[in-house]
Structure 1
Amino acid sequence: MNPLTTLLLDTSKGIVEFTYKGSGPPVLLLKGGHSTRDTDLSHSSLIYEGFSLLTISRPGYDYTELSTGRTPEDFADTIVEVLDHLQLKKVNVISISAAGPTGIALAVHHPERVDRLLLEAALLTSWESDVKKRATVLFGPAEKFVWSSLRTMLRFFPDLVLKQLLADLTTENVEDYLDNLTPNDRRFIVDMLATSQSGKGFITDLDHETPDISAIQVPVLGMYSQKDRSVPYTNALLLKSSVPECEIYEVDSDSHLIWIGKDAHTVWKKRLEFLTKT
């Protein structure tokens, strides 16, 4: 397929946007909150490692309609329609952050379609009430204005914006964290913000409930940081205690952003090892 092509599928429940690139064993990527088709947290490089990468935009993001699945279970059914359309019998699944419940729903309700499940800083528990209230104000009807204003401020007051963002992502001192970023890591965060848009997706994410994770029967790798303020490490402990075949890799990262920093190369290595296990 053309690596630049974004496709729309008219499923039984509405329009779903997806891209399908590369050749080789298929990996389904479910991005986290605020992530759009253009947000890349390093996973596109899987194509150059011999995988095909299927990226499906979740409900409310990009052109995927909310009707395709307001709950993780409903959207898991829609994902199966996309897999059937592409004639993919089984996929490896990567779920990031707020996409955790969706990846788990797919593994629990359609285990025959999932080879293995990789959870990267993935949320398994309910959102805290104060987080939900604040997010509803910021990313409800005003979300386009909020993101537009944030990107404008990022051009003129980058450190101020980054500090505000990182305060929700790290348990470390924010100024120290910012000072220790390499130029490449700083560019990663700026690019992430530049491609972020909540649409109606993040508000929908806030109401998601995670299916019974003890029902997962496929191999699972969870990668989490102890210093993640956004998705506490208790999610990793819950996963380890509930899933029979589960490995937890504690990422030596200073924030939710486990894809950058001193341990980023090991995160990449662990991901590849897990996806290539036989």
Structure 2
Amino acid sequence: MTTTLLDTPKGIVEFSYKGIGPTVLLLKGGHSTRETDLSHSSLVYEGYSLLSISRPGYDYTEPSTGKTPEAFAETIVDVLDHLNIKTVNVIAISAGGPTAIALAANHPTRVDKLILEAALTSPWEKRKKQQAKLLFGPVEKAVWGGLHTMLKLFPDLVMKQLLSEMTTENVEDYLNELSPNDRRFIYDMLATSQSGKGFVLDLDHTVTDMTKIQAPVLGMYSQKDKSVLYTNALLLKSKIPHSEVFEVNADSHLIWIGKDAKQVWNKRLEFLSQA
């Protein structure tokens, strides 16, 4: 994918922008790089422009561009101004949630609609933060290097290990029931993952006051998500009564695969097309 580096007042930001039509801003989740695609690139074939901005610490986006969601929301506005984009529809995935919430809450005139896909609406749990900082801090390159090598040699073993943190189901049963396409989806996701300095920054993110959000909001969550608990969906609904929560019949954090994947896709398109 062709990417652009923009020198903003706070530092370098990496983004890609393609397609013709209303702009959808995509904020990816933790460990996701420019190559990680959870199906959203297909939005360009549905008549949308897709603007993917790498969050601080990921790809070539420098941490100085915003160590807090609120600070990076300001930088996103700089990118929108540079591209002469007045308003965007925002899709946030997983750890990208707090940044999208900050953008919608603090810059209401720039956000038409907000979609939170298995996205955090609350801070990380203390135990998860401690574990993640050990794995994805200074040694993250070695950790991912080892995982990528193991993924090529023993894909099922690596997928099983990482999926155990994403599903409340028996992980062996979950893995065995996946279609070949779904297994390829997970393999490609893991093969393109790299934390950089970004995930450690994500762990300390707080969430802006969601009651300030004026735009229509759609949240899509699974009850069986072990990574982003369904309580995030309940919190979203309690803080933003006008929001819609769509419960996805998925067996893990990965709501983009499995038996309800088409419904997730259709629900997203339906919401984006609403007047």
**By the TM > 0.5 criterion, same fold?**
yes
Which residue among 33, 47, 67 is the counterpart of 1:50?
Answer: 47
Q: Distance in 1 between matches of 2:25 and 2:128?
A: 28
Question: In terms of mean alpha carbon deviation, does 140-149 or 154-163 score higher?
Answer: 154-163
| Secondary structure of 1:62 counterpart | coil
Q: What TM-score, normalized to structure 2?
A: 0.99
Q: Distance in 1 between matches of 2:125 and 2:154?
A: 30
Q: Distance in 1 between matches of 2:53 and 2:170?
A: 35
Give the gaps of 5 or more residues in structure 2. Answer: none
The runs of at least 4 consecutive aligned structure 1 residues that moved more than 2 Å come to none
User: Does structure 2 conserve the Cα–Cα contact (< 8 Å) formed by 1:33 and 1:202?
Assistant: yes
Displacement, 1:133? Answer: 1.1
Q: Which amino acid aligns with 1:30?
A: L
Q: What TM-score, normalized to structure 1?
A: 0.98
Which residue in 2 is equivalent to 1:267?
A: 264
Which residue in 2 is equivalent to 1:8?
A: 5
Which residue in 2 is equivalent to 1:81?
A: 78
User: Does structure 2 conserve the Cα–Cα contact (< 8 Å) formed by 1:58 and 1:64?
Assistant: yes
Which residue in 2 is equivalent to 1:103?
A: 100
Q: Distance in 1 between matches of 2:179 and 2:63?
A: 38
Number of residue pairs aligned between Structure 1 and Structure 2:
275
Give the gaps of 5 or more residues in structure 1. Answer: none
Which residue in 1 is equivalent to 2:229?
A: 232
Q: Distance in 1 between matches of 2:242 and 2:6?
A: 34
Q: Which amino acid aligns with 2:51?
A: L
Q: Distance in 1 between matches of 2:153 and 2:21?
A: 43
Which residue among 122, 126, 131 is the counterpart of 1:129?
Answer: 126
Which residue among 135, 138, 145 is the counterpart of 2:142?
Answer: 145
Question: In terms of mean alpha carbon deviation, does 157-166 or 40-49 score higher?
Answer: 157-166
Q: Which amino acid aligns with 1:233?
A: Y
Q: Does 1:186 align with 2:189?
A: no
User: Does structure 2 conserve the Cα–Cα contact (< 8 Å) formed by 1:217 and 1:244?
Assistant: no
Which residue in 2 is equivalent to 1:174?
A: 171
Q: Distance in 1 between matches of 2:238 and 2:162?
A: 31
Which residue in 2 is equivalent to 1:66?
A: 63
Q: Distance in 2 between matches of 1:138 and 1:188?
A: 23
Task: Using the aligned pairs only, state the percent identity.
Answer: 72
- Listed one character per residue, the Cα deviations across residues 77-96 of structure 1 (whole Å, up to 9, x for unaligned) are 00000000000000000000
Q: Distance in 2 between matches of 1:214 and 1:225?
A: 23
- Listed one character per residue, the Cα deviations across residues 71-130 of structure 1 (whole Å, up to 9, x for unaligned) are 000000000000000000000000000000000000000000000000000011111111
- RMSD over equivalenced CA pairs, Å: 0.6
User: Does structure 2 conserve the Cα–Cα contact (< 8 Å) formed by 1:91 and 1:113?
Assistant: yes
Which residue among 211, 216, 220 is the counterpart of 2:213?
Answer: 216
Q: Which amino acid aligns with 1:104?
A: I
| Secondary structure of 1:92 counterpart | strand
Displacement, 1:147? Answer: 0.6
Which residue among 13, 17, 20 is the counterpart of 2:14?
Answer: 17
Displacement, 1:244? Answer: 3.1
Q: Distance in 2 between matches of 1:136 and 1:7?
A: 30
Q: Distance in 2 between matches of 1:65 and 1:151?
A: 24
Q: Distance in 2 between matches of 1:104 and 1:164?
A: 31
Q: Which amino acid aligns with 2:70?
A: E
Q: Distance in 2 between matches of 1:70 and 1:277?
A: 34
Q: Does 1:204 align with 2:201?
A: yes
Q: Distance in 1 between matches of 2:211 and 2:167?
A: 29
- Listed one character per residue, the Cα deviations across residues 186-231 of structure 1 (whole Å, up to 9, x for unaligned) are 0000000010000000000000001111111110000000000000
